[in-house]
Amino acid sequence: MQDMAGKTVVITGASRGIGAATARLFASKGANVALLARSTGDIEGLAAEIGPQALALGCDVSRFADIEHAIAQTRARFAAVDILINNAGVIEPITHLANADPVAWAKAIEINLTGVFNGVRAVLPAMRDAGQGTIITVSSGAAHNPIEAWSSYCSSKAGAAMLTRCAHLENAARGLRIMGLSPGTVATQMQRDIKTSGINPVSQLDWEVHVPAEWPAEALAWMCSADADAWLGEEISLRDEAIRARIGLS
């Protein structure tokens, strides 16, 4: 995997799971990492663990002012933003449409879809001016398949997948690298919440079938390299055995 020394990576939803694993991996490869999350205590602890190349920034991605401020703070500390990982997301509310709370349903859209837009919008102008930059959005198989009681999650992830394609269409000619990663089911707190719900076949999966958070982290690092350029504008699935082999996962 390529050396990331001197690169600056912004990771949303960095407090745990895929986000935290990605922060640790990118930092180990020499990158500066800006850790964005609502739970400031968790990201401050992670930043202390990583060291001076990490910056913890409290941020609600559903509010553009929050993420715009976080990007400005990252640039003030590290001079530029080279990579944005749109990872923040929520599975709740897990509920049938007939019983869905409209406020909770809309909040999931604000985080999972508008949050991705806010991140992209905050970094695009400077990346376009620089003629370089990588934006990767963590997607899901739920973006392409309806799942019982996951209407807000499926709808928001489908929207984010299309947003990724639009961003690529508008910015590839400017030298930007934009794509998505569908990581499959990952052994994180989200899967524990899904298991607790007891609704739909995903909640019935054995814990052993979920991949560790380090796998999508490795995939995200690989996607920042030229070796992944053939997939620009597309969504890579970590369920694809050929992709796993190319990354070196087994």
Backbone angles phi, psi at 109, to 5 degrees: -65, -40
Domain of 21 in residue numbering reads as 8-185+217-238
Residue carrying the six token digits 């912004």: 10
Percent of the chain with pLDDT over 70: 99
Distance separating alpha carbons of residues 43 and 14, to the nearest angstrom: 7
Q: At 16, which amino acid appears?
A: R
* Residue 1 clears pLDDT 60, i.e. is over it: no
Answer whether residue 197 is part of any domain. Answer: no
Specify the number of domains making up the chain: 1
Answer whether residue 208 is part of any domain. Answer: no
Give me the catalytic one of 26, 150, 153, 222: 153
- pTM value is 0.94
* Residue 193 clears pLDDT 90, i.e. is over it: no
Answer whether residue 169 is part of any domain. Answer: yes
Mean pLDDT (the chain) is 95
Name the band, by pLDDT with cuts 50, 70 and 90, for residue 2: low
Answer whether residue 174 is part of any domain. Answer: yes
Closest CA to 8 of 36, 28, 27: 27
Q: Mean pLDDT over residues 171-195, rounded?
A: 91
The CATH code of the domain that includes 83 is 3.40.50.720
Told to judge if 105 belongs to the known catalytic residues of this protein, a careful annotator would answer no
Answer whether residue 167 is part of any domain. Answer: yes
* Residue 185 clears pLDDT 90, i.e. is over it: no
pLDDT digits (tens, 9 = 90+) for 206-242: 888 888 989 999 999 999 999 999 999 999 999 999 9
Name the band, by pLDDT with cuts 50, 70 and 90, for residue 83: very high
User: What 3-state DSSP class applies to 117?
Assistant: helix
Name the band, by pLDDT with cuts 50, 70 and 90, for residue 63: very high
Answer whether residue 248 is part of any domain. Answer: no
Do the Cβ atoms of 11 and 87 come closer than 8 Å? Answer: yes
Answer whether residue 200 is part of any domain. Answer: no
The helix-helix angle for 102-109 and 151-171 (nearest 10°) equals: 30
pLDDT, position 33: 98
Q: Mean pLDDT over residues 29-58, rounded?
A: 96
Q: Mean pLDDT over residues 168-191, rounded?
A: 92
What is the maximum span of the chain, computed from C-alpha positions, in angstroms?
51
Do the Cβ atoms of 180 and 234 come closer than 8 Å? Answer: yes
Answer whether residue 137 is part of any domain. Answer: yes
Q: Mean pLDDT over residues 112-129, rounded?
A: 98
pLDDT, position 204: 86
- Alpha-carbon Rg for the chain, nearest whole angstrom, is 17
Q: Mean pLDDT over residues 21-44, rounded?
A: 96
The pair of structure tokens assigned to 32 is 């500066």
Q: Worst-scoring range by mean pLDDT, 45-49, 111-115, 206-210, 224-228?
A: 206-210
The pair of structure tokens assigned to 172 is 């590839």
